[in-house]
Each structure stands twice: as C-alpha cells, then as structure tokens.
Amino acid sequence: MDQVRYWNRERETIDRAALQALQLSCLKETVDRALSTSFYRNRLERAGIRGANDIRSLDDLNRIPFTTKDDLREAYPDRLCAVPRSEVVRLHTSSGTTGTPTVIYHTASDIHNWTELVARCIVAAGAGPQDVFQNMTTYGLFTGGLGLHYGAEQVGMLVIPASSGNTARQIRMMEDFGTTVVHATPSYLLHINSIILHEKIDRSRLMLRKGFLGAEPYSESTRKKIEEMLAIDVYNSYGLSEMNGPGVAFECVYKNGMHVWEDAYITEVLDQQTLRPVDDGAEGELVFTTLQRTATPLLRYRTRDLTAVCPGPCPCGRTHRRLDRIKGRTDDMLIINGANVFPSQIETVLMNVPEVGTNYRIVIDKKGDLDRLTVDVEIYSKMFTGDIRELDRLRGRITSDLKASLLIMPTVALHEPGSLPVSEGKAKRVFDNRPKL
C-alpha cells in the first residue's frame, strides 16, 4: 500500500468539533447567499428563515426544505444563480428528467474550491506529481473530464486530456507517454482491458499503477477483477454534477469507503420513508448542502442515491466520514456507460416524432464490457409508404434526436404496431438486462 499523504493535512484531519463549527459558519453564509436568489427566498421565508441569524446550530438544518432535481429544472436557467453574471466563470449542465437540463454556475472561487477538493482526492489515493494521468472521461458539459483535469494539474501530474472513446488511441497513449494513472468508468476500463488482450499488447510496455473509477455503480468483485487483470490499484470515486461533479467523495489508500469532504458538503443520509437521519451503517438517501459554493448554493439537495456511512474512523487519519458504494437509486434514473438517463427523457423525444406510436420499450444490456441502450418503437401505420429508405431515415432521425437529448448513442429498432407494451396504465417499459452487481 502507498504511504498516507495529504494535500491539505489541516483540513483533512480537522477534529470533528472544529469541523462542525466550520460547517455552521459556512451554512449561515450559504443560507444568506441562497436568500439572494428568487428561487430560495420564497421557500426559505415560508420556513421562517429570513437570514443567517435564523440558523443557530446545525440542528436548524432540519428546518430547511429539501431541494430536488425537479426544483433545479423549475429554476432553469438562472433563478438559482446567487451572484451577478459578471462573476460567473463557467457553467455545467446535466440531463434533466425531461427535455430541460439542470445548470450549475461557478465563480472563480467555486472552481478554485472544486479543484482543491479534487486535488485532495488524488493525493489521498496515493497519486502525485510523479504520475502521468490519462483522463478518459468526457470533457465538456459532463463534469467528469474538466473536474479531474483541474485537480490533477493542481497536484502537478502530467495530464493527458484524452476524453472518452477511441480505444486504440487511448492504449497507444498509455504506451507512448507511460501513463501511470487513469480516470474512467469501470465498464470502459474493462473494455480497454479486453482490447489489450485481444490485440495481444505487451503488458510490460504499460506503466499503469492506479485507476480512479466512478460515474457508474460497480461491485467490490468488479474492482478486484480490474485490479487483477490490469495489475493496478482501483479507487472508487463519487460525485454528481449538482455538487460540482467528481471530488465529492473519494477513497484513500485504505480503499474502505469514500471520504466525503464535509467542510464542503453537509452530508445527510436519510431514511427513505421518514426522511429522518439513519444511523451510521444503515442505508438511506444521500442529501447534500453546499458549504463553499457561491454561484449556485444548494440546500439539502436530494441526490436519490442510496448509500450508508461507513462506521468508525479510518486508519488514514482523515476525520471526514466515509460513504459506502452507491447501492442504487430512489428514482428510475438509469446509468448507461456513466451517463445519467431518465426514461422520461426518452419518452419526451419519442412523443415529438409523428411517425411512431406512443408505445415504446427501453432495453439496456451489455455488449462486451460496455452498456448498450436499445429503444424499441412502433411505426405508425398511416405513415408507412413502403419505402425502406424512408424507414432508414426515420430510424436515423430518432437516433440523432435521442443522442442530442441523452448525450449517448442509442440503437433504435422499428417494430410493428401492437408488438410493444401499450401506453395505458403503468406499462413496464424499461428492461435492464445487465447482470446484477
């Protein structure tokens, strides 16, 4: 095991009492910032919170109403922005449950703080300036690429902004530049491994020693499998675009749960029914409140991710609690090759295609190590002219409409009317045929 190192020892090993005092003062500032947005003003005032002074202890968190993904959609595009436009330096959007995305704005200090958190993660996982870091997650609106990128540069790693895809080039770069650390989804790293085997690439030419894996759930046995096949250490990473992206929680060299940076996020794990806190070790929904973010403060954001806090301290000395692997979702969101997809997004796209009926089916399975999304639709009899090229164009158009909304490429299959589940009632439309974790 690598030696325990810190990026910011003082903050990472802060004692719990001091951490809680810091959380309280940051929470007050965050509530004040939130009150400056039209979105939060009304709902906080209704809850009797008119200023920071109404928050006297961390227990007052309970008085603050929850924020949901639907709220973010409702506030789109800028009702959650708490600073003048001139102070905003970046935005990221992510998929909403329908056509409307959600947006998070960042000031320069927000980016600085995010970078600091990612730097802590990278150093906690035993990487440093000596490493060559190949970042194989998508750059752009998706937060996985840029989030890790800035942190890795901060640490002083040589960063290869490879982004996702083009596996042959990824492997070539690993060989040519002596990549030691990669960031990817577990399924993509498995895919890379199968190509390495298939192409009979000389493993001794690869310098890989670590993988940062996240953006999709994976099991402990998958971790072991990847570690053995590629002879690397794998560290679990957790983040979500609403909380910046990667850098929310990350494993240290002990690989026993992900330290969540509690000076940046008040972390609650709540019972799904009562929405009251559960004990450490018990499963519940993860709820975050931002403590450092200036442009888009979010209070008690319901992630819909299910997990538990790992009980007890970690031998690494960090006092920030650890989160267990994500066990599932409380909503119907699908994670397909690391991208978040809501069935309602697919439905919204299909309902705008006059040539197809209202019945559809969503099938997710594995093609090799990667996920595959198939959308089955029924062609509408009256639109059928007998021209096969027209059907091909229709298929192409639905595929590109879905790609534009989901940001991943689906396979679209046309069917005869009456062959798919009917639209009335609660038809089962989503068939996730991937092996269980």
| Interface positions with other proteins (CB under 8 A) | 379, 381, 384-386, 388, 391-392, 413-419
CA-based nearest residue to 150, from 233, 289, 139: 139
Q: How far is the CB of 419 from other proteins (least distance, A)?
A: 6
Q: How far is the CB of 165 from other proteins (least distance, A)?
A: 23
Which of residues 13 and 374 has its CB atom nearest to other proteins in the complex? 374
Task: Give dist(CA 200, CA 171) in Å, integer.
Answer: 12
CB 181 within 8 A of CB 131: yes
Q: Please tell me whether residue 355 adopts helix, strand or coil conformation.
A: coil
CB 7 within 8 A of CB 124: yes
Which of residues 53 and 381 has its CB atom nearest to other proteins in the complex? 381
Which of residues 287 and 412 has its CB atom nearest to other proteins in the complex? 412
Q: How far is the CB of 395 from other proteins (least distance, A)?
A: 8
Give whole-number Cα distances, 309 to 161, 242, 301, 325, 378, in Å.
Answer: 33, 20, 17, 10, 45
Q: How far is the CB of 332 from other proteins (least distance, A)?
A: 26
Q: How far is the CB of 353 from other proteins (least distance, A)?
A: 16
Which of residues 392 and 432 has its CB atom nearest to other proteins in the complex? 392
CB 415 within 8 A of CB 376: yes
Which of residues 166 and 419 has its CB atom nearest to other proteins in the complex? 419
Which of residues 331 and 392 has its CB atom nearest to other proteins in the complex? 392
Which of residues 254 and 380 has its CB atom nearest to other proteins in the complex? 380
Q: How many CB atoms lie within 10 A of CB 343?
A: 16
User: Phi and psi (nearest 5°) for 140?
Assistant: 120, -140
Which of residues 220 and 390 has its CB atom nearest to other proteins in the complex? 390
Which conformational region is residue 429 in: left (phi greater than 0), alpha (psi within -120 to 50 degrees), or beta? alpha
Beta bridge partners of 263: none
Q: How far is the CB of 394 from other proteins (least distance, A)?
A: 11
CB 205 within 8 A of CB 175: yes
Task: Give dist(CA 103, CA 85) in Å, integer.
Answer: 14
* Residue count of the chain: 437
Task: Give dist(CA 185, CA 286) in Å, integer.
Answer: 21
Give whole-number Cα distances, 365 to 327, 369, 372, 403, in Å.
Answer: 19, 10, 5, 18
Dmax (CA) of the chain: 73
Task: Give dist(CA 75, CA 82) in Å, integer.
Answer: 12
Q: How far is the CB of 405 from other proteins (least distance, A)?
A: 22
Beta strands in 316-394 (DSSP E): 322-323, 328-329, 334-336, 339-341, 356-367, 370-379
Which of residues 46 and 389 has its CB atom nearest to other proteins in the complex? 389
Going edge to edge, which strands form the sheet with 301-307?
Answer: 265-270, 284-290, 301-307, 328-329
CB 208 within 8 A of CB 178: no
Q: How far is the CB of 341 from other proteins (least distance, A)?
A: 21
Q: How far is the CB of 262 from other proteins (least distance, A)?
A: 51
Which of residues 86 and 385 has its CB atom nearest to other proteins in the complex? 385
Q: How far is the CB of 403 from other proteins (least distance, A)?
A: 18
Which of residues 231 and 413 has its CB atom nearest to other proteins in the complex? 413
Q: How far is the CB of 382 from other proteins (least distance, A)?
A: 9
